[in-house]
Amino acid sequence: MHLTTQQFLPFDGTATLFKDFLSADFAAQAFNQIKTENDWEQPEITIFGNTVLEPRLSTWHNELGEGYKYSGVMRRAQPFSEILSDIRNRCAEVTNATFNSVLVNFYRNGQDGLGWHSDNEACNGPEPTIASVSLGATRRFDMRHRKTGETIKIQLESGSLLVMAGKSQHCWVHQVAKTKRVNEPRINLTFRCVIENF
Ligand SMILES: O=C(O)CCC(=O)C(=O)O
Ligand SMILES: [Mn+2]
């Protein structure tokens, strides 16, 4: 299988986009299946002393039953469904990496988003390869260098795969900004390989 790729980071890691990773039909079907099958959660987060619900729904899945802690919240581990395993295997094939976990985000419309952060939790290891699959509405994904402030904007279309690797989590932060321009829902899957018993 040959897929066209585009490289986005000028230095300090890689962010490689496989625009046509999944066919439009498969992506649409996967979107519907994950939307209906997933047992969605909406954890609370505390920002500057205020407790609010996260502006998106999500689930965490891990083969070993390991929970995941981020933003101070411990997430329960759910098993991989058939569709999540299928997409995970396709990611493994394209990247030559292995993935034992996935964080699934459901952005109900443009008012849902994810603030600046990096996936640099110790359980991901020092230079994690993260495979990010998008389904549904196109959303803009921004990456900003921690030192230079250089910002890269990437349109993540349905069926695309963005692979972040090397120093990308160490040197860059990323976000999915809220936008009034998008009214349609989007699902994003970020496959990771977490270290056991962290
Ligand atoms: O929705 C996206 O494209 C990004 C998701 C993300 O950064 C994460 O789950 O850590
Ligand atoms: Mn992230």
Cβ of residue 156 lying under 6 Å from some atom of ligand 1: yes
**Atom of ligand 1 lying closest to residue 186 CA:** 1
Distance 1 CA to ligand 2 centre (A): 27
In a domain, 82, yes or no: yes
In a domain, 122, yes or no: yes
In a domain, 197, yes or no: no
pLDDT band at 71 (very low <50, low <70, confident <90, very high): low
pLDDT of residue 62: 93
Q: Report, as an integer, the average pLDDT of 163-177.
A: 98
Residue with tokens 């090397």: 166
Q: Report, as an integer, the average pLDDT of 78-104.
A: 97
Distance 197 CA to ligand 1 centre (A): 23
Cβ of residue 114 lying under 6 Å from some atom of ligand 1: yes
Question: Lowest-pLDDT range, 27-36, 60-69, 135-144, 181-190?
Answer: 60-69
In a domain, 177, yes or no: yes
Please give the order of strands across the beta sheet that includes 5-7.
5-7, 14-18, 161-165, 130-136, 186-192, 101-107, 57-62
In a domain, 198, yes or no: no
Say how far apart CA 176 and CA 120 lie, in whole Å: 17
Residue nearest to atom 6 of ligand 1 (CA): 190
Q: What is the span of the domain harbouring residue 163? A: 5-192
pLDDT band at 16 (very low <50, low <70, confident <90, very high): very high
pLDDT of residue 83: 98
Domain count, the chain: 1
In a domain, 159, yes or no: yes
pLDDT of residue 198: 57
Query: Which residues 6+ apart lie within 8 Å of 48 measured at CB?
Result: none
Q: Report, as an integer, the average pLDDT of 36-51.
A: 92
In a domain, 116, yes or no: yes
Say how far apart CA 40 and CA 75 lie, in whole Å: 12
CATH number, domain of 9, equals 2.60.120.590
Whose atoms come closest to the Cα of 172: which ligand?
2
Cβ of residue 119 lying under 6 Å from some atom of ligand 1: yes
Whose atoms come closest to the Cα of 68: which ligand?
1
In a domain, 19, yes or no: yes
In the chain, the percentage of residues whose pLDDT exceeds 90 is 83
DSSP per residue, the chain? ----EEE--SSSSEEEEETTSS-HHHHHHHHHHHHHHS--B--EEEETTEEEE-SSEEEEEETT---EEETTEEEPPBPPPHHHHHHHHHHHHHHS----EEEEEEE-STT--EEEE----GGG-SS--EEEEEEES-EEEEEEETTT--EEEEEE-TT-EEEEETTHHHHEEEEE---TT--S-EEEEEEE-PPTT-
In the chain, the percentage of residues whose pLDDT exceeds 70 is 97
**Atom of ligand 1 lying closest to residue 174 CA:** 7
Q: Report, as an integer, the average pLDDT of 46-72.
A: 86
Is the model's pLDDT at 101 over the cut of 90? Answer: yes
